[in-house]
Structure formats: structure tokens, C-alpha cells
Amino acid sequence: MTNISHLYAASATNGNTIILDPGDGSLVTMTLANIDTLPGFCCNYRLEYSGTHVFSGVGTYTLTAELSLRSGDIVNIPNPTMQSLCLTAEISVPDMNTSNTSVRFTNAQPNTYYVGNTMVHDVNAYDADGDSLTFNLGIPGGSNCLPMNPYFLPFQVGGGNDTCWLDVNGTFNFQDPWLLGAHAILIRCSEWRNGALMGRGRRDMKLCVNMLTDVAADAPDELPLLSSTSVNGIYALVLTTNSPVAVEVWDTEGRQVLSAQALSAGDALDLRALGDGAYV
């Protein structure tokens, strides 16, 4: 089992272990395997915990772990520093001969972008077993891993004309964000096989709004593209503007692997030092 958390500096206080309740009457100690410092204003730390557990028999298990208190910059939860961050997942063991790999969210939590006036976060869910996936929004867990009450969706605070929704691929859309700050959201992904529920994964995350719609409306309509060159691993930047842009490269776990470079159309981007994989 692996847990990857992106935390704000003030709330990165879990230490070297996480105590996980696998739902079968036992406890599992997950140890800190890696920690990275991130440059973003929203999440300053990426922590990766790992552990193992063997379930004794068939059944449906709910896994929970109560982590540190949430950070004070969250605007859609009353008294956020009094609420814990609770990790929750469900896994089904239908029989001892059926393998089941839980769904994985391959896009890092801090990665968001704008399409016009809409702020977008893609979870990029992947299931190695090929199970069918469905998505819905839920209420994040707080103290004692109970659903927080009250809890407000991002569009329910700030008094603007904003709205938010989740599409069929689990992509969260926040149209016309009205209030600066962090918003806590919970995206649930259910995996199905032959009509049977095999498990549920949850992404409890901070969606950090750092610009409002009047600024977002001026965002470019297209993202820069890369064109292959005659040298494998070196790409040319394709832009419709002559102005230089800042280009950064991140992996799908939220680690910056190439610092910002000011590049113009046609300039070369050397990625030969990176290993095989997907990058943003």
C-alpha cells in the first residue's frame, strides 16, 4: 500500500509514520519512504508512505487513517484548523483467487489549469485491472474520520455566480471562481467488475484559487506544444506568440523535475536527463 500526500507546511506534522486502520480489527504502521519540498504556494510538501497488509478472508474493507489538522487557508470549511485530514478507501476481496488492484490517480493534486474562466483539475484515474470507473463528489472526512458538518462546496461560499461540477472522467471543473484561497474537495472513484463493486478510491485535496475570473479570462487559449527534433529527447517549443514563456516540467506525482526556463518559439527543450514516463 502506498499513500501520497501533498501538504501545506503548517500541516505537515504527521512525522515518520501513519497508523492505518484496514477495517479488519488490526492496525498497520505505514512508514515515510520519501519527502519532497515543492515550490507551490498551495502545497509545500509531498510525502510518500508505504506499508503492507494481508487480509485474512473475503469481505469488503474500509481503510482509514486520521492525519494532521487541516491548514487555516481553507475557505469552505468553518474552523478548518479544528478538522483532521482523513484518508479513506474501500477494497473488496470477493474470494481468495481474485486479484484486485485499487484505482490510482496519476495526476498530482497541485496540478490545475484554466480553460477560459473555468479552473480544472484532472485526476487521471487508472485501474490496472481494466475495471469500469465512475466518479462523484463527496463530503471530506474530519475529526474521527466522520463526514464534516457543516461542509460547503466551493461555489457555496463567496457570494458569486460561480459553480462547480465533476464530469464522467472525474475531472473537477470550477467555473468563475469568486473567492481566493484553498477549497477542500473530495473526489470519489468507484471501480466495477461485472456489475460488482470492487472498491472505492478517494482524493481529499485542496483546490487553491490564486486568481479570479477577471484574471483568468486573460489566460491564453492554447498551451505551448513540443515538436520532435532530429535528436531524441530534445524538443522545439511551438508557440503562436513571439513573447517568451516560462516552462517548467513536473512528473505525475507532483515533483518538479526541471526548473523554469524562459523560452521563445522554436527554442530547444532538453529532456534527455529524464527517465521514461509521463510529464506535465
* Residue 258: half-sphere exposure toward Cβ, Cα within 13 Å: 17
- Per DSSP, the three-state class of 10 is helix
205-218 pLDDT tens trace? 888 887 765 444 44
Closest CA to 183 of 89, 42, 65, 64: 42
40-79 pLDDT tens trace? 656 777 778 888 988 888 888 989 988 877 878 888 888 8
CA 161 – CA 154 distance, rounded (Å):
11
- Strands lying side by side in the sheet with 196-209: 59-69, 84-93, 196-209, 181-193, 132-138
pLDDT classification of 136: cutoffs 50, 70, 90:
very high
CA 56 – CA 172 distance, rounded (Å):
37
110-126 pLDDT tens trace? 788 888 888 899 999 99
pLDDT classification of 241: cutoffs 50, 70, 90:
low
Cell of 70: 487541516
**pTM greater than the 0.85 cutoff:** no
